[in-house]
Each structure stands twice: as C-alpha cells, then as structure tokens.
Structure 1
Amino acid sequence: MLFKVDSTGSETEKTENNEFKVLDIERHCLDYTDNSTRFYQASRDFSRQYAHIYSARLNTFRNILIPIINKRWSNKYKILKLCELRDKGTTCIIIGTLFKLQELKPSILKELSDQLEILPQPARTHFVHDTDSVVLEDELQRIKLSGDCIDVNKIVTGVVAALLGSEDEDGVFTIKDVCWAECPIQKPLPELNDDRYVVLMSGLNLASKTGDHLFSLNLFLEWLSGFCGTSQYQEQMSKVVRVIIAGGIYANQSNASTLTESDVIVASDVVDSFAAAVSAVVPLDLMPGCKDPNGIMLPQKPFHYCLFPKAIEYKSFNRVSNPYECDIGGFTCLGNSGEPINDIMRYSELDKHLDVMKKTLQWRHVAPTCPDTVPCTPCLDTDPFTIYNCPAVYFTGNCAEFSTELFTGAQQQQIRLVCIPDFCETKTVALVNLKNLECYSMLFN
C-alpha cells in the first residue's frame, strides 16, 4: 500500500482503483502539567556561599526522616545533634550529611601545589581509592564514622541519613543501623484503557561535523509522523502522546570537544527545524544538557527562545529545565540529562546507571553530589533536587546503552527506570507505555 498526505494534512491510502481515501487517524493526547517550578525558580545569588544549600537540605531531610525513624526504631532512642553527644557508649540517633574523604578527589589547591612536580599526573575519570573514609556532619560540626552498615564505596558526598549507634572514647561514632529517607509515598496510578506511549531520547548531537546519524533521525521523524507502515501500524503510532529529549540536542556528552559560538550559530537552524518538525505532530519537551548552549550549573534553565524561531510557533513545543518533572495523564515523570548519575559513578563503585538511579530514589535526592562535584547554583532556602513526588517514570539521559527495570520501592511503589541511550551513537530511542509501565527500545538504522 502507498501512503501520502493530502492538502488538508490528513493521512490517505491508495486503493486498488488508484483513488485516495482519507484515513481518519488522530493523535491521541493526555493532560499535561509541568511540575518543574522549583527548578525554574532556584536562587541564583552568587554572592552567597554554598553552605546554605547543605543547611536547607539537612533541615528538609530532618523533617522527612523523623517520622520514618519513629516508625522504624520507635521512641526508644534519643535523636541528638552532634554537639549534644556527651554520654560515651550510649546508643542514640544522629541525623546529618555524609561526606566522603577521598584521596583522589580533584582539588584546585592540590593541582596548584603539584605544578612543581616533574612527572605529570595522569588524567582520571574515576576517583575511588582504598583509603576513602566517611564522616557525618551537621550545621555545627562533624564526626568520624565506623562500622559495616555503610559501604563507603556505595555512597557519595551529600546524602542525608539517620544513624543509630554510639560514640566511643576516641570520638568515633560506631554505626549499628542506618535509615535512609527512601522514596516518597506514590499516589495511585491511573488506569488507562488503551496504550499511551511516551518517547524518550537524548544525545542527538546536531552540531556534529559528521552526519552519520542524520538518516536515522529522518527515519525517526517519518515514523513519528506516521509516514511509514500500514494503517494498523499508524494507528499504533498515533498513541504516542509525548516526546521528551533529555539533553544533548546540540552536542552529546561523549563529544570531547566544546561547542564554539560559530558551532551554535551553524547548528541552530537544524536544531530549530527538527524541534519544529517534531512539535508539528506531537508535544515535545526539550531539556538542555551539559554540552548544550546553556548555563552549565544545575538546575539548568530552559533554552533561550531565540534559538527556536520556528518551533516556538507551536503550542506543543516546551522548553523545559534540567532536571525536569512533569505530570502526563496522572503519571509523574522525573529525570535529568545524565550529569548527576554519571558523577555519582565517578565517585563510587556503582558502575551501572540503573543501580545509581535506585540509590538516588533510596536517598530521595536527584543530585546529592551538587554542589560538591557537580556545578550548582548557590540555592539559599530550599534544595531543589529533593524528590518530593514519587515518579512513575524515572529517566536519565545520554547513556552508553539502553537499559530499563521496573523498580519496587520500600512501600511497594512501582517506578519504571529508564536509561536513555545516546541517539547519535546508538540510533535508539526508548518507549514507555503508560498503560502498564512497560518499556522497550526502538532502533532506527
């Protein structure tokens, strides 16, 4: 069968008599709400110190952890601040921020002091060492930790936890048990009568000097627009209700070079045309990434509208933040462009994206290493990276390969984890069916 689009924009099918009949196929839709206000309104007062975000994080998690502590350990033990630790050997509970002491952690002061060395130091991408240790700190002081309840190689700086244990004569707190914030209670998921798909993609790298992936990108556009396949297949594709691009539309994270001003100018028309082509057929949410023409500090504000003179004509085109949270038909979707997840992998022995994503849900925090090793704006009163709503779909972008898992939380929350592959390298996108939270990949090659 031969398919084309008539002058009215309706899909048509050529019959045996060479006459065209209109196929009445409409794009399905679901209600949508952007819940990323806390990322848009994050304070950007650079005259302030970064201690404020740690203080805000600790205050927030102290309120979150106290009810969980009472449920887990009852009221048997006192909850003390570090300055209130006086009775040596007495079992108690302390709440604070974990801080890893790492020998290999990059430091500008260390780099300056090492400039006089004759032998150059090798560049590192992983900073875990056998001598790494962890301390707990609150607003006033810190204390050394010991015990097997916390694996120092499976945590990172910035995570807030409640510790049950006692202080010995040497001023070291021996841990007997650990309580994490865990993921929030999940609201009941809607029941859909039919399939509804969300397409997740990242790393389009449209500013690349090579065009090896452009054929696959055009094939993706034809597939999304319903220009290929039978009428039955087109009916299935009409159930795609949204496309989310999780960063890297200009340059993917695997690109070693940095975009110049001329690169952005040359690529902007291609990027705008692609965004407009997608927005013409389905709602599009476009997130920035660390290599895109945007501020590098998290949370990243949406792209400037001047970059998209064509796409902004469509109401279905949404410039959104990174990280990004939205509600699609009652399903909460939360994700980032990959920077926080990759950073956690650099400073721990967690080597799989899905394992890191599970940890961030357990810690109830999207980017715990902000602002220690991930650039972040100096937020004052709140920590925007705290997870307040349990997502139904939790994604991270610019991964080396596609992977997914249906994660069950401590309170039986059902969360679809999705590692979105770099499209430039893999020619692959991820599809999530909101009806049953099933997820699979599709290759355009």
Structure 2
Amino acid sequence: MLFKEASRSSTAKQSDFQPTELERHVVDYVDCSKRFYEVSRDFSKQYAHIYSARLNTFRNILGAAIHKKWSNKYKILKLCELREKHTLCVIVGTLFKLQELKPSILKELSDQLEIIPQPARTHFVHDADSLVLEDELQRIKLVGECIDVHQVVTGVVCAVLGSENEDGIFTVKDVCWPGCNIQKPLPTLNSDRYVVLMSGLNLASKSADHIFSLHLLLEWLSGMSGTAEYQEEISKVVRVIVAGGVFASHSNESSLNETDVISAAESVDAFSTAVSAVAPLDLMPGCKDPTGIMLPQKPFHYCLFPKAIEYKSFNRVSNPYECDIGGFLCLGTSGEPVKDIMRYSKLDSHLEILKKTLQWRHLAPTCPDTVPCTPCIDTDPFTIYNCPAIYFSGDSNEFATELYEGEDGQRVRLVCVPDFCNTKTVALINLANLECYSMMFA
C-alpha cells in the first residue's frame, strides 16, 4: 500500500507542493498454526484421550524440570507404585478440582428430579473446593499449604513432592510446574516495526456507537491522518491481528440473534477489505462468531468474505493462533480460556492468568472440562511447545500489558486486548523493543 504525504517548507509556494509516496514496510510472515488446523474432528472418540496425550507430553517436559529443581533426591513414582507411607517421593499427574458449585447436568434437570433449583452463577469458587491428582489409572487427594486450590484449575499437569499418609491422602511439600519453555533468540531490528492487536469489533451490534471509531482506525491505518512524520510511523505497521469478536462477543451476546449476525456479514467483509487493502490482516474467530464453538476454532468460511479474499494480505486464521512475524513468535487466543479460568478460580487478573498459563505451559488447561473442544486423540494441541515473544488474549475488559521475564532469560510481551466496541482501543507492539501501548479512537 502506498501512503501519499504532503510536506513543504514555510517558504515554498503552493505550486512547489509535491506529494511524497511511502511504502508499507514488510516483514517475513509464517503461519505456525498447523496443529490447530489439522486437529482431529472424530466425535466418536472419548475425551479421555486428550488427557492421556497431555499427561504423556508433560511427563517428558517435567522430567527435566524435576531434575533441575530437586536433582535426583527423590524417586519419581506413578500413583499405582505408592507403597510406603510417609516416604517422600515425586508423582506426576493432572490436577482435578472438586468444586461444589460447578455446573452439573443434574442441576439443570432439577425440575424432573425434584431438586431445589440452583441460582444462576458466573463464578464457581467455594471455600470447600479441593484438589486431586490423577493419572491414567488412579487419583489421590492432595492437601498442603504450598498448593492453593484457588490459584489453579482442572487440567494443569504438574509434579508434586510429598508423601502419602494412612488415610490415602498425599501431603504436598513442594510443587514443580512445567515452566516457560526455552525461547529462541529474538532478532534485532534496525528500525521500528509495529503489530496492531484488536478484538471485539461487534459489527453485528445494534448499537452504532463504535462505527465512527472504526472509520477513524481505518483512516489511521491508511495514512490519511496526521503529519508527514506521523504518517511515516504508520507505514511501519506490518500486521493487524483481530482476536475474535468480529461479529459479536460477550459484551453484546444477550441482545443479538441469528438474523443480526447474518445481516452483519457484508459489513464484516467491507471492514476486512478496507484493512487488507492497506496492511496484512489476520482474522480470528471468537466463541460468539459464526463458526464452530469448539476449540480450536477453524477459520471463518471464505464465503463470508467475497471481496476480502481477493487480497493476498487477508488471512482467515484459527483460534488459538500462532504465527512468526519477522522472527518474533506470536501466540494468542480470542479470550475464552482466560475467562473460563477466572470463573473456576480466584485469579481475577487477565495478565496474571496469562503468566500462569505460561508457567503451566498450556493455552487452555480447562479444555475439555469446562471449555468445549474437539476430542483430540494423539496430541493436545493447546500445549505451548515454543515460548512466544508476544502472548495475547482477546475480549478483555480493558487494555493491560506487562513484559514477562523468565528464569532462563525469556522475554514475553503479555497483552490483554480490550473489546473495541466498548473501549475504542487497540494495542500496538513495537517489534524492535517489545514495547506496547494502547491507542484510543474516539
């Protein structure tokens, strides 16, 4: 895309005015989401397979972490190998939370079963919640102050150091998490390069309050606003990623129906076309968008974008989504896993949850327990195999960011991408130094 800029000295005449053209800067791009696209869609299989695949994967990962933390002081046993009481050992397994307030099909059928109806809830934490650790064959109850039941969720794989007592309860003395993976060296850029992250366009919304802000955004991306120097900065935006909520998101789901979503297809296509004409665009679906609700979500169907698909710069991508932008690995979701973790724990900060999932090395540990996903068989696609440079979550209530620094020198820019419909805000990340800031269009 060419940006036309006008600049002249104070002494120049109007006839001396000559427009200058600026080219959009380009960086190498690779879509790394193959494991999300090719996930098994065989719904005749049970969900136990994904837990087995997850546990097998993390047994290998935790082997090195256990050796680093505890050396070879303690035996690593499976639950079926626990024999001696009060003998310190290490066991590896998947955490499962027993939660009194967790939704149940029995409660949903309370009328037929003559059970007192349960009040509608959005948060399912109770003081009586407890933890068990399970593997392929058995499970054992966990107790101990070093593992807080309200700071973890079902589906996290970890190693626990402790001993079993006469009652068959395992007292935890210490915990070893998988931890953030080793990060490949980040490239050094000679000049600024920007990635724009946004979420929650809500183009099917009956309210048009944010449409003017979207037009301002398009003018800004197109280089049609600001001074010549400012336009030159805008030419350094190398990619735009929309993290879900394109048609609708959690903020307006109660007021929409199918007709609203279908009628918004033309507006979504027009917006995608306008952005793709000036910059590369990656469009991720969200849980309220017209695509399958189960994670990993497949890209939008191409029939929804008869105009935008004419541009090579337009990419329909999966949710979760992983890509390499100029040597910087970018990974994120449209926000469903983060919101679900908030519902089933006392973690109330999106940023804190992003850090936790890096520590757990898993994008969506509550899949398939409380987040719908396809019954994967051989592998768990939500495992974070490579440490990203940019890690984001969409559909947040507000913009938030932090630079996470790992024990082995990892530097990860965490970004909570706000709902654009409500905040009129996008996030900008400078690849040259991983700095991040917000920009409001109001």
TM bucket by the smaller chain? over 0.9
Question: For 1:271, what is the secondary structure of its paired residue?
Answer: helix
Q: 1:312 to 1:198 in 2, by over 3 A?
A: same
Give the one of 49, 65, 71 matched to 1:68.
Answer: 65
Question: For 1:65, what is the secondary structure of its paired residue?
Answer: helix
Q: Is the 8 A contact 1:12 1:20 kept in 2?
A: no
Q: Is the 8 A contact 2:240 2:281 kept in 1?
A: yes
Q: How many residues align?
A: 438
Q: Is the 8 A contact 1:203 1:422 kept in 2?
A: yes
Question: For 1:145, what is the secondary structure of its paired residue?
Answer: strand
Q: Which residue of 2 aligns with 1:11?
A: 4
Q: Which residue of 2 aligns with 1:219?
A: 216
Q: 1:188 to 1:156 in 2, by over 3 A?
A: same
Provide the C-alpha distance between the structure 2 equivalents of 1:197 and 1:231, rounded to a whole number of angstroms: 18
Provide the C-alpha distance between the structure 2 equivalents of 1:158 and 1:79, rounded to a whole number of angstroms: 20
Give the one of 378, 386, 390 matched to 1:389.
Answer: 386
Q: Which residue of 2 aligns with 1:443?
A: 440
Give the one of 311, 315, 324 matched to 2:312.
Answer: 315
Provide the C-alpha distance between the structure 1 equivalents of 2:116 and 2:315, rounded to a whole number of angstroms: 50
| Residue 277 in structure 1 maps to residue 270 in structure 2 | no
Q: Which residue of 2 aligns with 1:229?
A: 226
| Residue 333 in structure 1 maps to residue 339 in structure 2 | no
The alpha-carbon deviation at position 110 of structure 1 amounts to: 2.8
Q: Is the 8 A contact 2:253 2:288 kept in 1?
A: no
The alpha-carbon deviation at position 308 of structure 1 amounts to: 0.4
| Residue 432 in structure 1 maps to residue 429 in structure 2 | yes
Q: 1:259 to 1:47 in 2, by over 3 A?
A: farther
Q: Mind listing any 5+ residue stretches in structure 1 that lack a counterpart?
A: 1-7
Letter in 1 for 2:151: K
| Residue 363 in structure 1 maps to residue 360 in structure 2 | yes
Q: 1:165 to 1:119 in 2, by over 3 A?
A: closer
Letter in 2 for 1:136: L
Q: Is the 8 A contact 1:10 1:22 kept in 2?
A: no
What is the TM-score of this pair, normalised by structure 1? 0.96
Q: Which residue of 1 aligns with 2:182?
A: 185
Residue by residue, what CA displacement relative to the aligned partner does 1:51-72 show, whole Å, maximum 9, x if unpaired? 0000000000001001111121
Letter in 2 for 1:13: A
The alpha-carbon deviation at position 118 of structure 1 amounts to: 8.2
Q: Mind listing any 5+ residue stretches in structure 2 that lack a counterpart?
A: none
Provide the C-alpha distance between the structure 1 equivalents of 2:433 and 2:103, rounded to a whole number of angstroms: 44
Q: Is the 8 A contact 1:406 1:415 kept in 2?
A: yes
Give the one of 347, 350, 353 matched to 1:350.
Answer: 347
Provide the C-alpha distance between the structure 2 equivalents of 1:171 and 1:239, rounded to a whole number of angstroms: 61
Q: CA RMSD in A?
A: 1.5
Matches within 5 A, 1:43-442: 43-113=40-110, 120-257=117-254, 259-442=256-439
Q: 1:219 to 1:92 in 2, by over 3 A?
A: same
Q: 1:97 to 1:420 in 2, by over 3 A?
A: same
Q: Is the 8 A contact 1:183 1:363 kept in 2?
A: yes
Question: For 1:158, what is the secondary structure of its paired residue?
Answer: coil
Q: Which residue of 2 aligns with 1:3?
A: none
The alpha-carbon deviation at position 260 of structure 1 amounts to: 3.7
Q: Is the 8 A contact 2:3 2:223 kept in 1?
A: no
Residue by residue, what CA displacement relative to the aligned partner does 1:76-123 show, whole Å, maximum 9, x if unpaired? 211111001011111111000000000000011232246555864321
Q: Which moved more, 1:300-309 or 1:106-115?
A: 106-115
Provide the C-alpha distance between the structure 1 equivalents of 2:415 and 2:71, rounded to a whole number of angstroms: 36
Letter in 2 for 1:205: N
What is the TM-score of this pair, normalised by structure 2? 0.97
The alpha-carbon deviation at position 21 of structure 1 amounts to: 1.9
Q: 1:187 to 1:122 in 2, by over 3 A?
A: same
The alpha-carbon deviation at position 375 of structure 1 amounts to: 0.4
Provide the C-alpha distance between the structure 2 equivalents of 1:422 and 1:119, rounded to a whole number of angstroms: 37
Q: 1:308 to 1:147 in 2, by over 3 A?
A: same
The alpha-carbon deviation at position 149 of structure 1 amounts to: 1.2
Q: Is the 8 A contact 1:200 1:431 kept in 2?
A: yes
